[in-house]
Amino acid sequence: MNIKLGQAVPDFTLPASTGQEISLSQYRGRKVLLYFYPKNMTPACTQEACDFRDAHDRVTAHGAVLLGISPDNLASHGKFIAKNGLPFPLLSDEEHKVSELFGVWQLKKLYGKEFMGIVRSTFLIDEGGILIAEWRKVRVKGHVEAALEQIVK
């Protein structure tokens, strides 16, 4: 099942870099900007995380929450956060359940090899838990600004 625009996003719970588990439902009443990325410490993922870091104050100024999700484990998330000074939690989706729910766990090709992985994507969920915007197959440059424009609407 892939979530579509205008649909309620089912609640999910994942382990977070904060040392606790985070559930989507705990942010009911606030917008949630949820971004999926393939792997910690890779160039494009680092650039995207740093762009979100730099925009974090503007995201929260509009009452929104920013969460990153990748299949990396919590130890990897901890190193990634420390190295890049990320002020938002990263969630670990090692079994790809949430990634599959959003339809971002897909067959990818790189240098002639095929493998399963996350297709970089971002989703904006409104205060009532409805998916109101999505960006699939994201190109990092300029993406964070486009997401911010939707938050302030």
Q: Is 50 a catalytic residue?
A: no
Give 5's contacts (C-beta < 8 A, 6+ positions apart): 131, 132, 133, 134
Strand ranges, E, within the chain: 13-15, 21-23, 32-36, 65-70, 90-92, 105-110, 113-118, 121-125, 131-135
Phi, psi (rounded to 5 degrees) for 79: -65, -40
Query: CA 5, CA 37: separation in Å to the nearest integer?
Result: 20
Q: What is the pTM of this model?
A: 0.95
What's the pLDDT tens digit per position in 67-79?
Answer: 999 999 999 999 9
The confidence score (pLDDT) of residue 1 equals 58
Residue type for position 85: G
Among the listed residues 14, 22, 45, 119, the single catalytic one is: 45
pLDDT tens track for 130-143: 999 999 999 999 89
Instruction: For the chain, give the percent of residues with pLDDT over 70.
Output: 99
Token couple for 77: 């998330």
- What does the mean pLDDT of the chain come to? 95
Report yes or no: 93 and 67 within 8 Å, Cβ to Cβ: no
